[in-house]
Structures are given as C-alpha cells and as structure tokens.
Amino acid sequence: MSLFALSLVLIAALLHATWNLVAKKAGGDSRFALLSSLMILVLWGPVGIWAAWGTVPLWGAKEWALIFASGITHLVYFNVLLRGYAASDLTVVYPVARGTGPLISSFGALLLLDEHMSLGGVLGVFAVTGGVFLIAGGPSLWARAHDPVQRQRVMAGLGYGAATGCMIALYTLIDGYSVKVMLISPILIDYFGNLARLPFMLPSALRKPTAFMESARALWKHALVLAVISPLGYILVLYAARLAPLSHVAPAREVSMLFAALLGGRLLGEGERGTRIVGAACIAAGVVGLATG
C-alpha cells in the first residue's frame, strides 16, 4: 500500500471513530438515521451534482443496481449499529463490528476480486482481528458475563457487533467492486447510495411526524456532525481502495480502533482503557503488516 493511500485511510479512520462517538452519545434511532441522511442530501448536494454531471446519464442497469445494493446495505448497517449502541457499550459493539467486517471482506476480496496478499499481510489481518478481542474488553468480558445484567449487555454487544460486521463486509465488497471494476466515482457511490436509502426511511417519519420533529430538535447538532464527516471519511476510503488492494485497505481502516479506544474509554467512561490500548497496539501492528505486505 502506498504512503498516500495509507494517509487517506488514517484520516478516514479518525473521522470514522469520531462520528461513531457522536452517534453513541446521541443515542438516536431510525429517526436519527433519517435526519442524518436528509442533512447529507442537502450538504453534499453541490458536490454530488458536480460529480454526477456528464457521468450518471451514461450509467446502465448494472451501475444503478450496485448503487441500490450499496444504499440498502448501508441502511441496514447503520440501523443495526444504532440498536447495538442502545443495548451495549461502544467499546464492545464498535470493535467487534470493525473487526469481523474487515476479516470477512479481506478474504472475500481475495476470492472475488482476484487480489493477492503476502504472508505479512495475512498476519496483519489476524493481528487486527486479535486486537478486537482486547479492545472489546479482553478477559474481563468473561468476568462481566457472570453478572446477569452485564452478561445481557455483553451478549447484546457481541451479537449486534457481529451482525454489523457482516453488513460492513457486504457493503465493502459491493463498493470495492464498484470503484475498482466499474470505476464509479466514490462520491457518487456515497451520495446516490444515501439517496437510495431515503424512500425506505421516510415512511416511519411520516407515520409519526411529531416524534420525528422532536427527535430532530433534540439531535440536529449530532446529525449535522455526522452528515459532514461520515461521507467524507468513507469517500476517502473508497479513493484509497482505487489505489491499493481492497484486502489491504479494509483491515487497515481499523486503526480507527485506536481512536475509539481512547475516545470511548476516556469520554464515555466505559473503562478498561489499558487493555483496549494494548489491543489497539495489536491493530496498529497489523496495519503496518498490511501496509508493507
């Protein structure tokens, strides 16, 4: 992986960890997801129109099918993630999701996109995955599982995290194929994917407009932050995927674990910061292996 591609991934990782912290603090639900999508539609509209000009009219059924599939997968991902944050700690849900997703997508890319990875790269993937267990709480997860209340939160976090990780792997492969094989602009994948999600999100708001407006008044600042930095972070990742193998880029994104371990433990008071930093170090070492292998 080139230094420039790695730089894009590192910036995206910081943005990703930041918006996940904002989403966790917001405690939002599907109404929060809709509000964020509407803000993305407006704020990124000029950029989306600029990127679409002269390009989208040339698209065929395959391009639109990929955009639709990406949008729906992201919708399921975000709603499952929010449910996980409501049921458990960020430092359980986030690491499990961000570890299982790249593990599946990396080996999926090797099979589906005919990519190659050295031994150092393979070891890097497993180092990233191993760090997930430590950041999620390490051995203390089992100790917490003996307490009925904590057991419920831990099991919920693991379940939602794994489900979110599967969605991450699916949209990573869809979007990776779109940018690398179909050469669709990363900006258009993100913007039109967001547009494709809106028809599925609007009915819930229309059924209870008062509840949506109350949620919008309470969470608009959180949604605004997410609307600005979430698309930017993912667009940077997709540009990196154009420059480097997807099987390297996907797990390298998980350096965001380092930021999440610090932010989640320090700002959200979820504890076990020392163990999680050790896990983040494992992930950082894995990223180095991916970058050089």
pTM of the model: 0.79
State the CB neighbour count (10 A cutoff) for residue 121. Answer: 23
Express as a percent the part of the chain with pLDDT over 70.
83
- 276 pLDDT tier (thresholds 50, 70, 90): low
How far is residue 232's CA from residue 107's CA, in Å, rounded to a whole number? 26
The whole-angstrom separation of Cα 183 and Cα 244 is 14
Largest Cα–Cα separation, the chain: 60
Q: What is the pLDDT of residues 29-63, one digit of tens each?
A: 778 888 899 999 999 999 999 999 989 999 999 99
Q: Hey, what amino acid is at 26?
A: A
d(CA 71, CA 199): 11
pLDDT (tens digit per residue) in 204-258 = 777 888 888 888 888 899 899 999 999 999 999 999 988 888 877 877 777 766 6
Which amino acid is residue 179, in one-letter code? Answer: V
First-to-last CA distance in the chain? 8
Total length of the chain: 293
Q: What is the pLDDT of residue 267?
A: 44
- Is 3 exposed, middle or buried (CB count within 10 Å of its CB: 0-12, 13-18, 19+)? exposed
| E strands, the chain, in order | none
